[in-house]
Structure 1
Amino acid sequence: MQYQIDDQIKNFLLALSRVLDIRIEKVLDLYFYVTPETVRIVEIVERGSKIVGLRLAVRSRKKPDVWYYVAVGEYGAKCTCEGNTVGGKICRHIIIGVITWNVLSLIKHGEGIDLSKLTWLYTREKDV
C-alpha cells in the first residue's frame, strides 16, 4: 500500500513539474518544505467522498514570523503573498497547497487530484 502511494506521489510531482514548466528539483523542494512547523491545514473542503479544496497557512521561508494564507480548489487559487495578490501569479505557497491537497486526497480517499481539471494552473503566470 505504501509503495503504491509513493509511486502516485512521485508521478503527481513529475506531472506538476511539467504542467508548471519548472524543474522537478523546485517541486521536490516545495514538497519537502511541508512539515507541521511550516504548513497548517485551516480547512478541508469536501464534496461527497472527494476533497475539492483546501485552506492552508504557509510559513514564509524568508520571514519565519510571517504566515501566508492560501486557498486552492477546483476553480482557482489565492494567496495573501505579494506575488499573488499584486501580480495574480501562481506562487510557491499555492504550489504547496496543490501538493498538500493531492497527498491528503491520496491518504483519505485513495485517489489523487487530476491536474488536467485545474485549468487555472495552465493559464496563470508562475512566480516560483
Structure 2
Amino acid sequence: MGKRKRRKQGRNQEPNLDKDRSKPTSDKDATNRIPNKKDLRKTISQVIQNRKAELITEFYLQRKFNQSVTLNNFLEQWVNGFENQVKKKEKTAIEYDRKVEKINDDGQPFKHRSK
C-alpha cells in the first residue's frame, strides 16, 4: 500500500475554487452558501440573547403596570407619548410667541391698543 502523492499546484495556475466553499466566489454564490458552524452558533446565541432580553423586559413591564404588555406595544406607546410631548411644547411655544406679539409699545402686556 503506497501513499498517495498530492499534486502541487503551479505558481501560474489559478487556485482551485472548488476546494474552499466557505468563501463566496460571486454574489450569486454568497446568497446560496451555507454559513460556517461558528457563524451559525454566534447568530443563534445572539437571537437567544435578544429574545431573553425581550422576555425579561416584558415581564418587568407586566409586573410594573399589572397588565399584559408586549414590548412592541409599550415602545409604540412610549414613542407616541414622546411625540405628544414634543407637540405640546411646540404648541406652548407658539402661544408664547403670540402673547409676546400682543405686547404693545407702552410695555403693557396682553392688551390691545385703544384707538
Larger radius of gyration: 2
TM tier relative to shorter chain: under 0.3
The TM-score, its normalising length taken from structure 1, stands at 0.20
Structure with greater helix percent: 2
Q: Which has the higher contact order (CA 8 A, sep 6+)?
A: 1
Structure with the larger strand share: 1
